[in-house]
Amino acid sequence: MQIRLLTLVIAAVLTTAGVTNLRAEEPVTKAFVNGEGPGWVSLGKDDFTKVNSNDDTWTFHEDGLIECTGKPVSVTRSVKQYTNFELVCQWRHLKNAGNSGIFVWTIPSSLEKLTGPGLPQGIEVQVLDLGYKEQYEKGGNRKADWFTCHGDVFPVGAAKMTPFPPTAPNGARSFPTKELSKGTGEWNHYYVRAINGEVRLWVNGEEVSGGTGCSPATGFLCLESEGSPVEFRGLKIRELP
C-alpha cells in the first residue's frame, strides 16, 4: 500500500512538473483593447469625408478594411469632431519604408486650407514602417535621431503638446518607451485614449507614448495618405464624457 502510494505521489510530481514546463514555454498573451462592448462604434465610409485626396485614394470595404494608395499626400477626415474618446485599429504598410499617421485632434481651419497636397495641423500619432529610418539616412548625410518607427506622438504646426518622456532631441515628440512595431506586411495594433487634452498610445498591447496639455483637445479624426500604400482595419471609436 505504501509503495503504491509513493508511486502515485511521484507520478503526480512528475505530471505537475511537466505542466509547469509546458506553461513556461507558452507565449505570454497580451491584453488588447479591441473595441468590444457598450459604446464602441465601427467607423467606415459614411463616417469619413474627402479633404484633399483623389477619389481613388481611399477605399472603404464592408468588412472594415480601409485601403489607401498613398497618393497624393493628403488626408480623409471624420464627418464629426471628437473630444474625449478611445480608438482602436490595426494598420500595416504594404511597401518598405512606408509613412502614414492618425490625427486624433485636427485643427478645422487647417483642413479648410488644404486645397492641394499636404497635411493639416493637430495632434498626430505616427504610423511608420520599420524601413523608413534606414531609407531616411540613406537619402543623404543626415541622422534619423529625431523620430522613431514605433509610435511617436507629437503636435504638428500650430498645435501644442507636452510630450511624455522619453522625447526627441528637440523635446517636441514623445518617443516610445519600447520598440514594439512589426515590419512591412504585418498587422500592428493601436489603442489610443484621448481625454481632457491628454493622449496615450498603446502599440501591440503595451502603452508606449503620449502627451498632455494638448491644443487642440477637440477636432476631427484624420487618416493620412503619405506616399505609399497602407491599410487599416477594425477602426472603432468610443466617445467618453
**Domain CATH number, residue 109:** 2.60.120.560
Say how many domains are in the chain: 1
* Residue 19 belongs to some domain of the structure: no
Task: Please say if the pLDDT value at position 22 is more than 80.
Answer: no
* Residue 3 belongs to some domain of the structure: no
Greatest Cα pair distance, the chain, in angstroms, is 89
Q: Return the minimum-mean-pLDDT range out of 1-15, 65-79, 94-108.
A: 1-15
Compare 24 and 145 and report the one with higher pLDDT: 145
Output the pLDDT for position 30.
Answer: 53
* Residue 92 belongs to some domain of the structure: yes
Contacting residues for 209 by C-beta, under 8 A, at least 6 apart: 151, 152, 153, 163, 164, 174, 175, 176, 177, 200, 201
Could you tell me where the beta strands, DSSP code E, fall in 111-228? 122-128, 153-156, 160-163, 188-195, 198-203, 206-215, 219-225
Task: Please say if the pLDDT value at position 5 is more than 50.
Answer: no
Measured from the Cβ of residue 184, the count of other Cβ atoms closer than 10 Å reads 15
Assign 27 a pLDDT band (cuts: 50, 70, 90).
Answer: very low
* Residue 27 belongs to some domain of the structure: no
* Residue 194 belongs to some domain of the structure: yes
* Residue 20 belongs to some domain of the structure: no
Tell me the residue range of the domain where 143 lies.
33-239
* Residue 196 belongs to some domain of the structure: yes
Q: In the chain, what is the straight-line distance between the N-terminal and C-terminal CA atoms, in Å?
A: 68
- What is the rounded average pLDDT of the residues 46-55? 98
* Residue 164 belongs to some domain of the structure: yes
